[in-house]
Amino acid sequence: MMQFGAVLLDSLRLLRSRYLFRLTLILSSLAAVALFATYSFNEQGIRILWFNTWENPELQAGKPGVRDFIAIMFNNVYARFWLTWGAMILAIVSTASILPDFLSSGSIELSLARPISRTRMLAFRVIGALLFVFLQTFVGVLLAYLIIGLKFNIWLGGILWAIPLITLMFFCLFSYSALLAVITRSTLACVIGTLLIWFVLFLLQFSSSQLNNQVEQARAMQRQSQAIVARIERITADQSRPPTPGEERSLSRAKEHIARTQIDIDRFGPYASVFRRSEFILPKTRDMQTILANRAKVPTGGSIISLFAAGRGGPLNNPEFDSDDLREQLAAADEAEAALRDINVPRSLGTSIASALFIYGLAALIFSRRDF
């Protein structure tokens, strides 16, 4: 335990001395203030700083849309763009040199002289690197939580899940940095290699998400059209009459939708299944963002569009716009996203952790058998 404490203190001193660590803390705090302390809600809608109020009945003070808007701002802006991209890239760059510096000639010999196993020594260094993301995420998320609670009296406890989830995401990515470090002992290789691997994971998971969303949305629209056909056929059968001209048009349109969506299902379904199976053994960084959205009770995409479209000048208030058609599309999008957000959390996190531990195991095996 004393050895662990000594290594941990060394890691904290190292992080504190790094410019990027301090910069990330400052930027995380500024982002929280900018996204949650610069607007207010009144009887007409939302007002940002000193600008005129944007009238929106869904964003009037006291309406449920206020809570939804804040949850959207946290998950879809603060967490998605800053914590899981901007801050994560800074973390990867800043911590990439921790293991190469430790493994460099002159430093590693002194470390190996200590009465501690190589595997444990490597594990302590990895834990020290995890402190970077944990501390900056903790500060940023806690500040956002307090601003939201004190300013709007809305206490979104679910957003606090961002702290362990973002840390776990970094844990998965840093496993590749650790493996590259023991192989190459090069900071540049760790930075470039980890970012490239992350990019490949992103492309794979983004493609899988888009394909599965296309399939789920097609199925949702197909179910809506099938319900319309069944309803009209039931009405005409009960009344023992042929369909009216309006019902004929609705039937024709619904059957056309059924045929068109079936083409999409047949076209994209097999590819979606292949991508979904290929993700099983990989770290699911995208799933962690989805789990956070579920914990924070962020509305689905269709509901988000409806929230903003209800404002003055929005399509839902435009008499020249086919709002019924838009609502049908948004309902289908909501149903599709709800299906995609129905994640088996233990399996997703468990397989991600197992994948990362396997990579760390390879790094520890190489480190324990390598001569220095």
Q: How confident is the model at residue 321 (pLDDT cuts 50, 70, 90)?
A: very low
Query: Which neighbouring-strand residues pair with 46?
Result: 41, 54
From CA 319, how far away is CA 321, in angstroms rounded? Answer: 5
Q: Which domain holds residue 330?
A: 2-223+270-369
Q: Is residue 230 part of a domain?
A: no
pLDDT for 332: 66
pLDDT for 285: 87
The pair of structure tokens assigned to 6 is 């000594």
Q: Is residue 297 part of a domain?
A: yes
Q: Is residue 258 part of a domain?
A: no
Mean pLDDT, the chain, rounded, equals 83
Lowest pLDDT segment from 14-28, 41-55, 266-280? 14-28
Q: Is residue 238 part of a domain?
A: no
With 0-12 / 13-18 / 19 or more C-beta atoms within 10 angstroms meaning exposed / middle / buried, residue 179 is buried
Lowest pLDDT segment from 130-139, 162-171, 334-343? 334-343
- Work out how many domains the chain is built from and give that number: 1
Lowest pLDDT segment from 36-50, 92-106, 195-209? 92-106
Question: 3-class DSSP state for residue 160?
Answer: helix
**Torsion angle of C-alpha atoms 152, 157, 160, 165, degrees rounded to 10:** -130
pLDDT for 226: 87
Q: How confident is the model at residue 127 (pLDDT cuts 50, 70, 90)?
A: confident
- Please identify which residue in the block is written with the tokens 């959207």: 72
Q: Is residue 88 part of a domain?
A: yes
Q: Is residue 339 part of a domain?
A: yes
Q: Is residue 249 part of a domain?
A: no
Per residue in 331-371, pLDDT (tens digit) is 766 776 777 788 889 999 999 999 999 999 999 999 888 77
Q: Is residue 260 part of a domain?
A: no
Identify the residue with better confidence: 305 or 60.
60
Q: How far is C-alpha 50 from the chain's CA centre?
A: 32
**Average pLDDT for residues 191-214, to the nearest whole number?**
90
Lowest pLDDT segment from 103-117, 155-169, 296-310, 334-348? 103-117
Per residue in 193-202, pLDDT (tens digit) is 999 999 999 9
From CA 281, how far away is CA 278, in angstroms rounded? Answer: 7
| Residues 6 or more apart in contact with residue 110 via CB below 8 angstroms | none
Sign of the alpha-carbon torsion through 231, 237, 238, 242: positive
Q: Which of 6, 3, 1, 7 is nearest to 128 (CA)?
A: 7
